[in-house]
Chains A and B, each alone.
Chain A
Amino acid sequence: MRKNPPLWGVRGAYMKRFIGFIKKEFYHIFRDRRSLFILFGMPIAQILLFGFAITNEINNVDVAILDHSKDANTQEIINKISASKYFSINQLIINEKDIETVFKKGKVKAVLSFEKDFSKKLIKDHEATVQIITDATDPNTANTISNYVNNILQNYTQGLNNKATIAYQITPQTRMDYNPELKSVFMFVPGVMTIILMLVSAMMTSISITREKELGTMEILLVSPLKPLHVIIGKVIPYIFLSVINATVIIVLSIFIFKMPVQGSLILLGLESVLFIITALALGILISTISATQQTAMMISLMGLMLPVILLSGFIFPISSMPMILQVISNIIPAKWFIIIIKGIMLKGVGLEYVWKETLILFGMTVFFIALSMKKYKIRLE
């Protein structure tokens, strides 16, 4: 029998092996341009893209005016519209036929058409019509434009009503809580963060593990005194580290560039993120056990993880307006729960007492995926 070295010696040796292993993993990451780009380029690019380019807000939309009346009231309305930062008057047209022409040119997104004798009707009948014609090739924008114009018109009528007295009028006052300016970036940040963490944690880990399988180095590692579990943990730790950095970068960017408030506890946000990162890593390990090549791992990650995260997590499309079957399916997507949690913390400032249910579900999923991937991993070793 060989005498065992003292326990701390064994632990010390293990730690040393472990550190060497993690160091090696970082070499892999930092020497591969592709993975560097995915790790650091993607989060920044995505958050900026979603923040600046993909937006539901409208700014300086070109409108054309078709004024059949040309009186004081129409002029006032036109002035009001052109004074708002949402619209700029592109041109005045004189003919119904021109409407189609300006739309076809593409720049003008809406046409306001005032009926004949606008002022007269307004005074005589207390009612006059303005037609808002929008280019609905992009339905979302068209909708927003028409809402904004309506608002301006309502505003204007109210001003008129204050002068004259008219009985009984209900003026709805809407207030948008938690995102008063309806900034779409507030909606996207939690989603983008979810995507990035999923991408970095699950896809990168599954690729890096399958790469060792593909290159045959996994075999060498398994023949070495390193325990299979240690190999996996060693491969996963760098990605936990990088994912945390990524989450931080995203939050910092959204706070400083997009002025997104983080109402709730940053610590809770951090802990929930770590939980989600671990969920994603477990999924990554699971994927690596069922795929033999890096390509397969990447495809499975993209199809099996990214698409559901984008489509079914409530990130872009509200879950409540999905068909029933998809609503049910969305429940098994970890990202859905994570998005609910971080939206709550970031925008509403809620504490754990409001998101404990979602946290528990996410935790349960994590435990399940870890157990499953460990089991699969062991089977593969046989």
Chain B
Amino acid sequence: MNNKNVIEVENLTKTFGDFTAVNAISFEVRKGEIFGFLGANGAGKTTAMKMLIGISNPTSGKANVAGFDVFTDADNIKRNIGYMSQKFALYDDLTVKENITFFGGIYGLSRARIKEKANALISELGLQEVTNQLVGSLPLGWKQKLAFSVSLIHDPKIVFLDEPTGGVDPITRRQFWEMIYKASYQGTTVFVTTHYMDEAEYCDRVSIMVNGKIEALDTPKKLKEQFNVATMNDVFLKLARSPSPTLPKGKGVNTDKDYNHEKKSSPLGS
């Protein structure tokens, strides 16, 4: 495995009976990268992601996540990744502190380490006032930010975010992305799915899945050039709308030859 790649996927396939949900996808994700994983609903994103986080067995192909094989070493993968989804926003009937303690605990952190992490996290998010309040009483935006921080509690190599900003307001989304940038800056790889195309612009590289296949993969800038459009939204619409993608094979799926790891600068400023 290439030292710089934390995820390597080759011809990964998942079929359910006759239906091929994920059709031989191949890609790599580099260390510290923010990798956008886009696709319309039902394109196979979630299935692909489930295979990468070790809760669904691939039908065929190869995949290596955080240095471990998804077929044989799912346990080690689980120890080295974080996960957060829009659907999940911590336990509402537990307090902020209890949530942190619980998730720290199931990742095997020592009590001292949990305490240290909890304090850092609480002061970073400015939650001192509400540490002992039930999470259910917090605004959605706070919950999402807290959930993201909690998913990083065990310092995972990669964090998988499944539509993390669904349903939150633009200001919180912006703050959320600042947190993502920070994590990425500190060396955590971020693998994120989203339906917001402005968020796709923030990613280092973006892949777009259509009908179980990755039909495009590149930096947002290059994708826009390639499709000759002004925004990622248009790129997405062009790809997702075409019933049978007309791209010549290999052109859309960009391997790493012409990719330069651009110096990270948040488009949001800092």
Residues of A within 8 A of B (CB): 2, 13, 16-17, 20-21, 23-24, 27-28, 31-32, 215-217, 219-226, 381-382
Contact = CB atoms under 8 A, between A and B. Distances in A.
A223 B105 contact: no
B267 interface: no
5 contacts: A223-B81, A224-B107, A225-B75, A225-B107, A381-B55
A215 B135 CA distance: 14
Contacts of A223: 53-55, 78, 81, 83, 160
Interface of A, helix, strand, loop or mixed by DSSP: helix
Among A16, A31, A223: residue with most chain B CB under 10 A = A223
Give 3 nearest A-B pairs by CB, closest first: A20-B105, A216-B87, A216-B88
A221 B106 contact: yes
Contacts of A220: 83-85, 88
A217 B93 contact: no
B20 interface: no
Contact of B57 (A27, A215, A382): A382
Interface string B87-116: 110111110001001110111100000000
B131 interface: no
Contacts of A32: 93
Contacts, number: 71
A230 B91 CA distance: 19
A23 to B, nearest CB: 8
Nearest to A381: B55
B106 A20 contact: yes
Contacts of B84: 220
Given A2-B76, A17-B105, 20 more contacts: A17-B106, A20-B102, A21-B105, A24-B98, A28-B93, A215-B87, A215-B91, A216-B87, A217-B88, A217-B90, A219-B83, A219-B87, A219-B88, A220-B85, A220-B88, A223-B55, A223-B81, A225-B107, A381-B55, A382-B57
Contact of A31 (B56, B93, B105, B108): B93
Q: How large is the interface on B (under 10, 10 to 19, 20 to 34, 35 or more residues)?
A: 20 to 34
A338 to B, nearest CB: 33
A295 to B, nearest CB: 18
A2 B160 CA distance: 23
Contact of B105 (A16, A27, A28, A382): A16
B85 A225 contact: no
Contacts of B53: 223
Contacts of B88: 215-217, 219-220
Interface in B14-32: none
A357 B69 CA distance: 50
Interface string B171-185: 000000000000000
B91 A217 contact: yes
Given A219-B85, A223-B78, A21 B106 contact: yes
B105 A225 contact: no
B54 A24 contact: no
Nearest to A222: B55
Contacts of B103: 224
B56 A382 contact: yes
Nearest to B87: A216
A24 B94 contact: yes
A157 to B, nearest CB: 69
Contacts of B57: 382
B79 interface: yes
A28 B91 contact: yes
A156 to B, nearest CB: 67
A363 B122 CA distance: 50
Contacts of A222: 55
A26 to B, nearest CB: 11
A27 B108 contact: no
B108 A13 contact: yes
Nearest to B151: A220
A224 B78 CA distance: 6
A217 to B, nearest CB: 6
B108 A16 contact: yes
A215 B83 CA distance: 15
Contacts of A221: 106
B262 to A, nearest CB: 30
Contact of B106 (A27, A28, A225, A382): A225
Interface string B30-41: 000000000000
A305 B27 CA distance: 50
A226 B106 CA distance: 7
A1 to B, nearest CB: 10
A217 B99 CA distance: 12
A235 to B, nearest CB: 13
A381 B57 CA distance: 9
A100 B107 CA distance: 77
Nearest to B16: A382
Nearest to A217: B88
A357 B209 CA distance: 60
Contacts of B76: 2
Contacts of A13: 108
A23 B94 CA distance: 11
A253 B43 CA distance: 59
Nearest to A228: B55
Contacts of B78: 223-225
Nearest to A12: B108
A92 to B, nearest CB: 65
A20 B83 contact: no
